[in-house]
């Protein structure tokens, strides 16, 4: 089960005690609202070949008094560092592609199956359609 994180935010009620919510303000702000805290991600293009990424992590004030706050929070910070570094690698590859003379602007490319898949996954849940993940797992095996 791995190291423990923070407990659920004490003021959460009902459906907010289950799962996470990830609102996005296009074109460059994402939020992760979780039962134990949250995060924000801001992507700021500075030049065609340069982008600044700002990540903020936040916790309920009741967690600050824990004697192990720094240790537990460190696990969250580490996770965000790992994922932000991975995202930076992907962003750098995309940026190189944008600089290609063959690049054509557009929202989705036919090779971006992951983006299409996640959009369909969200739509299926929004409209209450049956879960197709077992089908995907079978095809991937």
Q: What is the C-alpha separation between 124 and 130, in angstroms, rounded?
A: 7
Q: φ, ψ for residue 81 (rounded to 5)?
A: -65, -45
Domain span including residue 16: 1-101
Average pLDDT over residues 96-124: 74
Q: Is the pLDDT of residue 140 over 50?
A: no
What DSSP string describes 10-60?
TT--GGGGSS-B--EETTTEEEEEETTEEEEEEEEEEETTEEEEEEEEE--
Its pTM stands at 0.65
- Give percent of the chain with pLDDT exceeding 90: 33
Residues 50 and 76 in one domain: yes
- In a domain? residue 108: no
Residues 8 and 56 in one domain: yes
Number of domains into which the chain is organized: 2
In the block, which residue shows the tokens 């700021």? Answer: 44
- In a domain? residue 87: yes
Comparing CA positions, the residue from 28, 27, 35 lying closest to residue 9 is 35
For residue 141, what pLDDT band results from cuts at 50, 70 and 90?
very low
- In a domain? residue 106: no
pLDDT, tens only, 16-56: 888 898 888 877 889 999 999 999 999 888 877 788 889 99
Q: What is the C-alpha separation between 22 and 64, in angstroms, rounded?
A: 24
**Helix or strand run (H / E) with residue 32:** strand 29-34
């Amino acid at each position: 089960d791995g190291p423990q994180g923070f407990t659920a935010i004490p003021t959460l009620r009902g459906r907010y005690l289950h799962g996470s919510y990830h609102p996005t303000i296009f074109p460059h702000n994402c939020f992760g609202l979780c039962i134990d805290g949250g995060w924000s991600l801001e992507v700021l293009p500075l030049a065609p070949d340069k982008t600044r990424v700002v990540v903020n992590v936040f916790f309920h004030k009741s967690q600050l008094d824990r004697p192990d706050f720094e240790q537990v929070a460190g696990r969250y910070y580490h996770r965000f560092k790992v994922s932000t570094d991975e995202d930076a690698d992907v962003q750098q590859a995309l940026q190189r592609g944008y600089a290609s003379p063959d690049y054509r602007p557009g929202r989705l490319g036919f090779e971006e199956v992951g983006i299409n898949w996640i959009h369909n996954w969200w739509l299926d849940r929004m409209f209450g359609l049956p879960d197709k993940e077992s089908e995907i797992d079978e095809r991937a095996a």
